[in-house]
Structure 1
Amino acid sequence: MNQAIHHLRFTKLQKLVVVSILIGFLSAFLGIALKRLTEYYEEIFAHQATMNPLYYLFFPIFGLSVIYFLREYLFKKKENKGIKEIFESTNSKSQNLPNYKISSHFINGLLTVIFGGSTGIEVSTVVASATIGSVAQRKQNVFKEYKTELICAGIAAGITALFSSPVAGILFALEVISRKITKTFLITNLIAVLTAFGLIFILHEKPLFIVTITSWSLKAIPYFILLGILAGFFSVYLTRCVLFFKKQFSKIDVHYHKIIIGSCILSISLLLFPQLYGEGYHSIKELTVNPNETQLTLSIVLTFIGILILKPIVTSATLVSGGDGGVFAPSLFTGAFLGLLVAMVLNTYFSANVIPLNFIIIGMAAVLSASIHAPFTSIFLVCGLTNDYTLFLPILAACLISKYTAKMLYPFTVYTYAPSLVK
């Protein structure tokens, strides 16, 4: 009898290992494909818009219209609700992520960003890769009790593929989705992210940002704390902005009216600040080239403040108009600009002699941590983006401070908010 039970457990473990490898490979392949396609076409379209600013007026309404027609006629009028779809699935035994979520989020995420939608492909990748895990879970009865674990395995592999950080992948699945750790979670997620990381290695995926971080000073700790507090305040502005737009646009009955209004907001903002186009990673790369040489002038201050004020607005307009995405990329983008602005102000007016590049990197992690309430995910994700762990301790401090500052100001994220919770 004991031998039969032992054999059954071993067989189940074997199947879990195989399915985890499969989920890891497929999720990573999807993430890498979406990332490469988005980078390639976004660069082409953004360049065309720079050459002819009329494209800033045409691209957003065209992209959002195509997404609308695809949703209406190809995906049978079924909306994409982002990460909340995953919560609904993991919290219910009967509700599953339907197969079409893989293609719908892949296509809509790509179209949103390349046509100027001011968000990123991270949430699209997360939901699509979660669906891969969900589909695998439904294939055999033996996996029914491991629904959350296999969905998280897909998510962890997808995040690993996007940010070249297996640790960030597992931590995101744990901090944001599962919120509990089991032996099965560890087995499935470790195997999935290692498979994903192996694929990244084979395909020679490079870090998103090539930077050289030399050192940091203990004297800068008070300034890192200040940046963490400011990041917490800013993330609440981002969260409240998204929720406000969702509430206001929900009152509009005709969806194409939402597209027209959202496109107008997006187009005008892009004409004023082309840096807001798409994910914004191209702008972050420009910031990291020679940040020490950036002088604090009135035009620079106005530009940075304008970008920081408008980015949450255009992100919200993109999402409520039917665009696919979330707050990952906007948080990283605004964190970089906030960090550099703080560093320039400190150096110019307070002779702080801080390193601007360090503040760009720490700002990215701090705003993301506060926006999604996941400090450890943010630390390893940003370190993975730069392939450098020199700033690990300052990032840790800033991420924890920003998260708890944000939670004190407003307890919800865009993922956890529900109207019933505030009644």
Structure 2
Amino acid sequence: MHNEKEGMPVTALREIKILKAMSHPCVVDILDMFVVRSKCSKDSTLSVYMVFPYMDHDLAGLLENERVKLQPSQIKLYMKQLLEGTEYMHRNHILHRDMKAANLLISNTGSLRIADFGLARAYDPSIVRGGDSRSKDRRYTNCVVTRWYRPPELLLGARQYGGEVDIWGIGCVLGEMFMRKPILPGTSDVDQLEKIWQLCGTPNQHTWPNHDALPGCEGIKRFNTTYSKKLRSAYESIGAETCDLLDKLLTCNPRERITASQALDHDYFWTDPLPADPKSLPSYEASHEFDRRGRHHHALPVQFMAQDAQHRQPPPVVHPPPIYFNRGPPPREAFRGGPPFPPPHPPPGFIPPLTHPGNVHPFNRPPPYPHPGQHNRMHYPPPGPMGNRQGPPDRWDRPAHLPPRPPLPMGAGVPTHPTHNRDRNNRRGGYGGGGGPGGLNYG
């Protein structure tokens, strides 16, 4: 709350009241509320938080995810739940007034819930039906609904409306689920109307009587260009029943627009393919519009989670194989074409990975002296006063399951590796005859 002296905004109170009054499987539930006083700002403003159930996706983020392919039966399941929730709201005389893909939450169990009631309000249904004279004095704001989902009557300045404004947004969502992008992306209110006329046809006195009596859009009441209706020809590929439902949802005349209860009885829901079984739907990675905008270039693998969203198990942590630097001479296996040597120095910004439990070779074990400045050769204490090592001489190059080899006699060397032989003159002491050509240099 920016100004506590004026109290909580009426829009927030209206949203909380509506959420607490509704209870439906297709409408998001409010679980709890709490108030926190900010400690960062000087005036210590209050913030009101609302707690909702966690949902894995919203529809906009799911459609932006290239890994997700919605089947027609899956779209039909989501549309059925969307219309059921909308029918429940309109039956209780509640308008959502911001119906769009980003406000439809979906879980991995196939459940869809309508969310974000920040613009919702109760309405009088007699306004649209032409009731008593008192209803003519009630006027609602037309600055509602995101532009791409806003019906033409609101763009033309209508102040008296009902549930038909939500039905238009549902039609836009239906087309978006098939096209995987908004079907009417206008850049301004006038451009939005132009795109609607191009798809649904320019209205006239026969298709929409007295539409020119509305205040108009930015001072424009009549449009010079007349377009014919081409919605059916543009979306004939999605099926006859689907195209017919889309046509009735996107009817310009709000009085002839189909209602939510009528849409649930449409042939679209009673023809093959029938709505999918929620238990048969795959589980996708969490896809939210807000999150995906920040990581378009970081595609995540699909994680098949448990069906119960409240008891999801985290994916197993797979550690990369460890890399150690400056670990001394390589094991004997490296002389015979074994694993490659680690780089002598770590690259800039290198962070050593965690030790993988499957690496049992002594060469891959963590050093016994991890602190900087200490000796980090494996299984060896610091060198003695003459550079000689104190401990089993050959344990570092033997696997853990083999017994250590007996100590090498003085002077008996093994072939040295060229990498370690090039600076032998700078090394002192060690097993195998010291720094001579016949021994290995461990200095």
Please report the TM-score for the alignment, with normalisation by the length of structure 1: 0.23
More strand by share: 2
Larger radius of gyration: 2
> Could you say which structure has the greater relative contact order, defined with CA pairs below 8 angstroms and 6 or more residues apart?
1
